[in-house]
Structure 1
Amino acid sequence: RLYLYQGAVTEARRCFDAALAFWPSHLNPTDEDARKDRARILLYRSLIHEAEGEQEQAVAGLSEILQLFPERTHLRERIEILRRGEEPALLGASVWNNLLQSEDERSMLCGSAEAEGHIHGEHCNH
């Protein structure tokens, strides 16, 4: 993700490819966190494909996410839009910028009085 922050898309692409190649590493592939990690990697990789005009590869990545998490039905609509070629490739970069910003906000140190400082994560409730 750091490479995407820096606009180094080629390097980001290589790193996401490597992450997919080595996934799940030491984790059980059926583990929920491992599956979430794979889905996140696939999402960024699909957005890069989309930004580079590689719609078929973007669709393949999004489809794999749906196999991991069928409840993410919003991806079906995105897949259909990509198949029809209705939206510009620039949307992929826009979406990953929003995702990076959102992940940054979740990982900020908590300064609330109710809890001792901690790193926000997916399961943080405040």
Structure 2
Amino acid sequence: MRLWHEDLIGKLPRAQLLGQHRECCALRGKGWGKKHATVNYVFEYHPMKLVRYHLLIIEEMKNRGYNVDILWEDPLYRGKQSERWEEEFIASLDEYGRYDEHDDAYMEECTQNLASKGIHIIIAEKDQGSAI
């Protein structure tokens, strides 16, 4: 699984959005630090960057009327099987921007990956780089 480019979050079909939520839950929990080719870069950053990204996913899910366990909105929560992150981990989530890897080349890679699954998303130039 991959973390889709941030600018795609609001355009992802249901299955990909829900899959992204599951991936973020796994990465925040026992998957933290466990290398996987498509998400290795995540572990090079502070964990709160992943939390910030996950909160964008949760926000989109709620906007679409999906139920999300409120526990995941707590930045220190890591799932039922994992210890919470320590309080000193938390800072303003605004401090943790988007992943450097989520650039134009990654956007192209993501849209091609989706297209190979029959999902065609058109991204207007003005959409790229904007916050969702």
Q: TM-score range by the shorter chain?
A: 0.3 to 0.5
TM-score, normalising length: structure 2? 0.38
Higher helix share: 1
Rg (Cα) greater in structure: 1
